[in-house]
Amino acid sequence: MTRLALRGSDATASGPRGARPSRGWLVVLALLLAVAGLLAAHVRGSAARAADLSADLGAGPVVAVPAVARTAEPPIALAVPALGLDTRLVGSRTGPDGALQVPADPSRAAWYVDGPAPGDLGPAVLVGHLDSRQGPGVFAGLKGLHAGDELDVRRADGTTVAFAVREVATYAKRDFPTARIYAGSGAATLRIITCGGDFDAATGRYRSNTVVYADLLPD
């Protein structure tokens, strides 16, 4: 559109010496430029929205997790004393789009069953809702956690494994750090993921994800 405007100016300048562009032509040119700007903004907004929609409501796309020799029992509950939270855990897998599925019940959290169990080597991943139409979700207070806060995971054999929060971060869904979340460093760690950032009323979804990174505490 810029090149079209320049060509129009050149054509006008090639007329009789001293001739000036008509006011009507200038009005048309201004309208064309305004429409071009609006179209560009719409395209940018549509592309950003499409990128957000391509990310899952709670977790975004995943990457292959290296197989580990699982020794820990599956997790059945999560307690977060700093939030007064104690919730049962359900299992979750990826959907057809490769995204980790969030529990249908917003009051429940889920464990990614195809990844490490909490306490085994690698990042164990939990996911849950921030809120719902009925009110706050299981991880409504997740962003309020601080470094050092304890996370206790109860396992099927009755044992409990404890983690300490290292970092709480929020990422735009289109910038979700998939490899960092699901591949990890090989150490026994825990990731908890929920929605975050601004709410997009047009899509009915949040534009970001909040992620808690936690490290295993010694016995």
Q: What is the pTM of this model?
A: 0.71
End-to-end C-alpha distance for the chain, whole angstroms: 66
Pairing state of beta strands 188-200 and 122-128?
parallel
> Position 97: which residue type?
D
pLDDT > 70: what percent of the chain?
68
Q: Is the pLDDT of residue 24 over 70?
A: no
Q: What is the pLDDT of residues 42-84, one digit of tens each?
A: 444 444 444 444 444 445 555 555 556 678 899 999 999 999 9
Q: What is the pLDDT of residues 183-212, one digit of tens each?
A: 878 899 999 999 999 988 888 888 899 999
